[in-house]
Structure 1
């Protein structure tokens, strides 16, 4: 099957060395590679946001990335998206006309709009699958900006696409409230690379071993944005109530730029105000190749984000065998099993977080059991091979019967 993945603002090929780090780009990169491993031919169409990535590139066997010129060759703010989506749709129309795919899969509202226009204008009857990594109605509930035009577009795109894929049952519920039939929407979760993020392997640098004696501090780790919606402020306040713990916060700019980052400076000041600056460490951004080792050095993973449409950091911690304490928001609610892989909380109030962390600090058997269950659930339910296979099943429901598909493992050819 020829698959066109359309993502106007996420790019699976980062401008710098390493792997993509934002949730959308990680999803795009991992899904494209796994679809190719299943035998499909994949082309990723993205807006050129860097002059160094202006030409077609291969991202591995079976995957091609086509950067399309539409507006300035730099990342855009969300307020700029609509200004350049028409140009992106025009460029995409020519590409789809020259190389007609069996299915188009659009990620996000602006990509969906461009894909709808391009499929229509190309003159070919190309089925479209629409994914929403995030819905504005969900963002509003978390205190993020209200964008009424985007809400209307997301509803219209969901109703007019051949099928809709969402990351969580929460998103399917939100779409149902917007008038999209439940049968039109499939939940295909965000995935995790369970070979890279695993319980096997060493720990990282100065944090070599997990807590092994009763007089050692519980090592708590969070991977989050340092902004006000990432939950780091609540985590620092929590540490005043967990005297037996130390907190490592991963995220933000690289370590060389932490000193001038306003969010990092705000958090460091907050830690001093509540008297926990000696037990809180900001690492800055960590290369994804090194992140599993850092995760394995901790005892517990914690998330206090007000909104998490991906749940990727939680899944990666689970895959590394960490019990998780997290606020029940977005995709986190589907990733975790409360009481089995960790603790789900209705809010990120410091007293609630502290209570859950103190209970885990005093019960090493429970921590171990939750960590084992978390690793098993992450690998068995959220591995990218399974996510890709479920995505392909959604595609096939839109295809005419004469389209030839690669056989999945275990299928018989008769």
Structure 2
């Protein structure tokens, strides 16, 4: 089987890095096309031996990209096309049809109740999404919660398959040596008690709530924010105005997988934390929360389908926190008061191993290609 993955961009983001990790575990020949922004994850894929093509799309309405993409699909002789993220799903499904490939699957990474990929939803976006969805055969939801949202939008249930995101469990396992090294490298005091947050620095992630919680906590509490994004300057200003700038560390983007970037990677930074907080009120999966659990961290979250869709006993150290900075501060203080705990990996994290996700996706691929050969393949048999 030969598959083409089409994604909107390959900067450092959850969907992008999930694609790279997945391709390391799929027993399929895969190429990747990025419509825009061949960033650090493109470099990482190339280092992994994956062929990456930058389509050079100039904007959402660059219709000239469509025939280019269709020609690329046709020339590649692909059995299956798999699309990721909104723009790539729309253009990729149409191009696959033009190229004669009927085995088309799309993964819905970022559908919330009121936003998609950090942007507010509108009736126009929903109508266009549903029109494009009908051009594919299967839509993969990264959680049962997302599957339910797709059904409410009008996507027929038989077209939806749930394939959760996956993580490299061994890579995120707690390492006390890395903890010490990373904390020293960050310049943290020995008695620092570190609250961690990971994700794109956008308003939708609500990291400002963590900054506003910090003044309500003891002076030895620090905040470590891992990620880059358009709100970084706003968050830095918020920390200064709250009088806690000296206790808020910004690491910038940290790839999930080794790619030669300077400084500690994400697993090392998780080892340096004492509690993980995800104040985003709307998530499609909650990958960062799962990674934190895999590192044995207690977790405070506002929204995390990856945890909420499992039995409560599978993540005993994860607590849902509703409200703003005051509630977050109280929850952090309660975790701190419990004292040190073993950095054990809960059942919830084990549930999301990447090999399990790859196996489930291969089942989807198999079902599609067994009944949906492209006209070119059928004619040559």
TM over 0.5: yes
- Pairwise CA RMSD of aligned residues? 3.5
Partner of 1:29: 20
Partner of 1:384: 354
Partner of 1:114: 91
Report the Cα distance in structure 1 between the residues aligned to 2:326 and 2:42, rounded to whole angstroms. 50
Provide TM-score, normalisation by structure 1.
0.75
Count of residues paired in the alignment = 360
Give the C-alpha shift of residue 59 in structure 1: 4.6
Give the C-alpha shift of residue 65 in structure 1: 1.6
2:325 corresponds to which of 350, 370, 388: 350
Report the Cα distance in structure 1 between the residues aligned to 2:208 and 2:41, rounded to whole angstroms. 37
Report the Cα distance in structure 1 between the residues aligned to 2:239 and 2:283, rounded to whole angstroms. 23
Give the C-alpha shift of residue 2 in structure 1: 0.9
**DSSP-derived class of the 1:207 partner:** helix
Deviates more, 1:101-110 or 1:218-227: 218-227
Provide TM-score, normalisation by structure 2.
0.81
Partner of 1:41: 29
**DSSP-derived class of the 2:205 partner:** coil
Partner of 1:409: none
- Show the 5 A alignment for 1:3-14: 3-7=3-7, 9-11=8-10
> Is residue 5–residue 45 contact of structure 1 (8 Å, CA) maintained in 2?
yes
Residues 52 and 217 (structure 1), Cα distance of their counterparts in 2 relative to 1, 3 Å cut: closer
Report the Cα distance in structure 2 between the residues aligned to 1:115 and 1:383, rounded to whole angstroms. 28
**DSSP-derived class of the 2:115 partner:** helix
Residues 331 and 125 (structure 1), Cα distance of their counterparts in 2 relative to 1, 3 Å cut: same
Report the Cα distance in structure 2 between the residues aligned to 1:402 and 1:179, rounded to whole angstroms. 24
Q: Structure 2: give runs of 5+ residues left out of the alignment.
A: 259-263, 374-381
Partner of 2:368: 398
Partner of 1:235: 210
Residues 287 and 248 (structure 1), Cα distance of their counterparts in 2 relative to 1, 3 Å cut: farther
Residues 304 and 241 (structure 1), Cα distance of their counterparts in 2 relative to 1, 3 Å cut: same
**DSSP-derived class of the 1:30 partner:** helix
> Is residue 336–residue 342 contact of structure 1 (8 Å, CA) maintained in 2?
no
Q: Structure 1: give runs of 5+ residues left out of the alignment.
A: 12-19, 72-79, 210-214, 404-414
Report the Cα distance in structure 2 between the residues aligned to 1:321 and 1:337, rounded to whole angstroms. 16
Partner of 2:173: 198
- Show the 5 A alignment for 1:209-228: 216=191, 218-228=193-203
> Is residue 43–residue 65 contact of structure 1 (8 Å, CA) maintained in 2?
yes
Give the C-alpha shift of residue 125 in structure 1: 4.4
1:372 corresponds to which of 339, 344, 347: 344
1:324 corresponds to which of 299, 316, 319: 299
Deviates more, 1:127-136 or 1:344-353: 344-353
> Is residue 300–residue 322 contact of structure 1 (8 Å, CA) maintained in 2?
yes
Give the C-alpha shift of residue 249 in structure 1: 2.5
**DSSP-derived class of the 1:129 partner:** strand
Deviates more, 1:104-113 or 1:223-232: 223-232
Report the Cα distance in structure 2 between the residues aligned to 1:224 and 1:402, rounded to whole angstroms. 38
1:299 corresponds to which of 274, 292, 297: 274
Report the Cα distance in structure 2 between the residues aligned to 1:228 and 1:402, rounded to whole angstroms. 42
> Is residue 130–residue 157 contact of structure 1 (8 Å, CA) maintained in 2?
no
Residues 335 and 236 (structure 1), Cα distance of their counterparts in 2 relative to 1, 3 Å cut: farther
Between the two structures, name the one with larger relative contact order (CA 8 Å, sep ≥ 6): 2
Report the Cα distance in structure 2 between the residues aligned to 1:91 and 1:146, rounded to whole angstroms. 29
Give the C-alpha shift of residue 265 in structure 1: 3.0
Deviates more, 1:43-52 or 1:95-104: 43-52
Residues 355 and 151 (structure 1), Cα distance of their counterparts in 2 relative to 1, 3 Å cut: same
